[in-house]
Amino acid sequence: MERLKTVFLDRDGVLNRKMPEGHYVTRWEEFELLPGVVEAIRLLNNEKMRVVVVSNQRGVSLGLYTEDDVRSIHERLQQLIASGGARVDAFFFCPHNKNACDCRKPLPGLFHQAQAQFPEIDAATSVMFGDSKSDMEFGRGLGMVNIFVDGDPERQKPGVEAARELADIRATSLLDGINRLLVWKRGHGTHASSMCLGFPAP
């Protein structure tokens, strides 16, 4: 069986500290990288796995910031992680409001955008890391392995219990999830049914 090749990462709550519900990261000064993120991405780079960030950015449609503001944040993030010897291969984001497009997760548009840039991407050899129900529905709908990152309990979105149920793996952070994934990957290949690593109970 083919090995895992691509890791999709949600942004807010996985890479950086999530703002309180209803609030958004509008500029770099509000972006707080979470501990262990650079190391986690570097581990993926060392494993020759493609790293793709896919993020809903509804605040653009609400007029709170612009698409260029999002791109600027991603450029600064790339510079920051590069200083630690890591890199993200691509960023894709949905700037639309609810029910206005096919790219707002859990809809698959961001996956298809990534696939257009990297035609070799296959959901069957991909993993989705997220901290919300929409992230897990996105991954499950495409047939990816799902890894749920338990974030700050005070800033989790509604539906967190359902999100956990949709996950193949639960982790306390991106780095924890990557470490668990790599242990499993080296020993079992890519079939989600072989994931028996003693992950934290729901």
> Model confidence at 159, in pLDDT bands (50, 70, 90)?
confident
Q: Structural domain of residue 19, as residue ranges?
A: 6-194
Q: Where are the beta strands (DSSP E) in the chain?
A: 6-9, 50-56, 90-94, 126-130, 145-149, 169-171
CB 11 within 8 A of CB 55: yes
Domain count, the chain: 1
Say whether pLDDT at 140 is over 80: yes
Q: Where in the sequence numbering do the catalytic residues fall?
A: 10, 12
Instruction: Judge whether 81 lies within some domain.
Output: yes
**Mean pLDDT (whole number) for 98-116:** 98
Q: Which two tokens stand for residue 151?
A: 């974030």
Alpha-carbon distance of 159 to 189, in angstroms, equals 31
CATH label of the domain that carries residue 44: 3.40.50.1000
Q: Which pLDDT value is given to residue 17?
A: 96
Say whether pLDDT at 81 is over 50: yes
Alpha-carbon distance of 110 to 114, in angstroms, equals 6
pLDDT digits (tens, 9 = 90+) for 56-66: 999 999 999 99
Instruction: Judge whether 199 lies within some domain.
Output: no
Model pTM score: 0.90
Contacts with 74 (C-beta within 8 Å, 6 or more apart), sequence order: 53, 88, 91
